[in-house]
Amino acid sequence: MDVKRVFAKLTWTQLLGNLFGALLTWFYFRFVDYTAAQFQAQISRGEIVYFVLGFAALIAVGIAWGSRWARPLERADPTAGADAALVRRRAILVPYVFAALSFGGWILAGLVWGVLYPILWGIFSPARSLRSVFGITCVAGTVTAALIFFAVEHQWRRVLPAFFPGGDLSAVPGVLRLRVRVRLLVIFLVLSVIPLSLLGVLAYTRAAALPGVDPTAAPRIVANMLVFIVFIVAVGILAAVGLSLYVASSVAGPLGQLQTAMRDVERGDLETRCPVVTNDEIGAVSEGFNRMVGGLKEREFLKETFGKYVSREIRDEILAGRISLEGQAQEVTVLFADLRDFTPWVEATSPREVVRDLNAYFTEMDRAIREHRGLVLQFIGDEIEAAFGAPVAYPTHAEMAVQAALEMRRRLAAWNDERARAGKVPLRHGIGIHTGSVLAGNIGSSERHSYALVGDPVNLASRIQNLNKEFGSDILVSGDTRRRLDGRFELVALPAVRVKGKSGEVEVYRLA
């Protein structure tokens, strides 16, 4: 962003705008207002030199002061440094400062041409000088400053986002805020009240002067009144067109950008942002829109992150509020998986490789569980605890758990083939599956929760998993789980066994 080049364009805008206003004002007092002392007088070389030097002096003062004021804005990185707050304030105030410089110049112009000029040329009159000062400063100066404000604001909006990457214009204290209502009111005053007032007052003064003048001069006064009306109407139309275009752009432009950004979000693009180029109500709406999109993006990120812990179906059910996590009794099927010969393998392998291989193993097993709508509750060392039928209740949760176990067996075999090709030792695991009623819900402290299952079926599933070592199997299913299956799985009955924590024998089956 070349701020110096932008300020050069703004300076030319201010220069040309003031020059155009000055020429129109000079033309008015020379050829329109017959009460002016210099009305239709011969234009001398001294007057031209006076005009050029006076205008150049006023412009030079304005440019010098404006350049000094804008110096902090011309740094390579205007948003960094100790005076970043000052830079941000001045970035917002650029249109106001240009308009203020212009109006200040017109105040001085009123003194230079309304007072000093008549004195130097020997045509001074207090009443005429007062009228000249009023016309130069209050009428021409106000309209020109308003035009320059909106013209500079229109160009500066392309640069302003560079000073506010986050679009937080409303967070800057100590700056002027031109509300939309005030903006429209100013335009109404400039385009309606001032021209109509001038027409009314000057038409009345000319009409009041007719009865007391020489009859031969009356046609000249009437003709001058017609010239005055044509001049005011022409200048009024030019000012109205210019100001209307800038004001319409100042309102419609940001609203159009906001509409485009809304369409992008509707199509799912959460990276879009609406440029904030004003610090009025429209800018506040744009800032609110950006905050809303940021919230949606954060929510989508959390949603996708949450989806890494549970399946998409479970995630969507929880986020939609259709599942209670406060705690409820629920029949589920619990699956435990544990690596065999884990300790010798760890002792013979570097820690970095152990972590990398464990993560690869857990990734494969997690995919198998999630593929069958299971929920991995936790990874404990080399052990996996998973649940089927919670938090979303599925009637076929037992079948889903068995299908997941078969998928885990298949994935482990494929993963071991890759390890063998890499010259690594294959890994084995044991899986235990049991079905029963548990208490499911968020368990934990006031600062941290985790979704957990509490009940005897959880412990029994872990005990059944350990029985794989005794039977030399890899997948064992309890009798309670077998009774909830449809009979299409090949299960081999094993001798009933006693496990820790159970008074009776436990019925187990090996999944072929």
Which residue's entry shows tokens 């436990």?
506
Per-residue pLDDT, averaged over 397-426, amounts to: 94
**The domain boundary residue, chosen from 239, 266, 293:** 266
3-state helix, strand, coil in the chain (%, to 5): 65, 10, 25
Residue 34 confidence class, pLDDT cut points 50, 70, 90: low
> Is this prediction's pTM over 0.75?
no
Q: Answer yes or no: is 48 within a domain.
A: yes
Most confidently modeled of 293-297, 321-325, 417-421? 417-421
pLDDT, position 428: 93
Q: Which of 284-288, 341-345, 432-436, 449-453 has the lowest mean pLDDT?
A: 449-453
For the stretch 339-392, pLDDT in tens is: 998 888 888 889 999 999 999 999 999 999 989 989 888 898 899 999 999 888
The mean predicted confidence, pLDDT, of the chain is 84
Q: Answer yes or no: is 303 within a domain.
A: no
Instruction: List the beta strands (DSSP E) in 283-390.
Output: 328-339, 375-380, 383-388
111 and 32 within one domain? yes
Rounded CA gap, 456 and 13, in Å? 82
Per-residue pLDDT, averaged over 65-82, amounts to: 73
Q: What's the domain count of the chain?
A: 2
**The domain boundary residue, chosen from 222, 242, 266:** 266
111 and 230 within one domain? yes
Question: Which residues have C-beta within 8 Å of that of residue 108, sequence separation ≥ 6?
Answer: 58
For the stretch 269-305, pLDDT in tens is: 888 888 888 888 888 888 888 888 888 887 777 666 6
Sign of CA dihedral 486, 491, 496, 498: negative
Per-residue pLDDT, averaged over 425-445, amounts to: 89
Measure Cα distances from 99 to 91, 104, 137, 233, 501 in Å. 14, 8, 13, 24, 86
53 and 128 within one domain? yes
Q: Answer yes or no: is 192 within a domain.
A: yes
339 and 437 within one domain? yes
511: number of Cβ within 10 Å: 20
Q: Answer yes or no: is 308 within a domain.
A: no
Residue type at 442 in one-letter notation: N
Structure tokens given for 328? 């409820």
3-state secondary structure 30-71: HHHCCCCCCCCCCCCHHHHHHHHHHHHHHHHHHHHHHHHHHH
Measure Cα distances from 23 to 29, 31, 130, 136, 236 in Å. 10, 12, 20, 11, 15
158 and 245 within one domain? yes
Measure Cα distances from 405 to 348, 364, 375 in Å. 28, 12, 13
188 and 59 within one domain? yes
Q: Which of 103-112, 203-212, 277-286, 360-369 has the lowest mean pLDDT?
A: 203-212
For the stretch 273-282, pLDDT in tens is: 888 888 888 8
Q: Answer yes or no: is 284 within a domain.
A: no
Structure tokens given for 189? 């005053």
What CATH number is attached to the domain comprising 401?
Answer: 3.30.70.1230
Parent domain of 342: 325-511
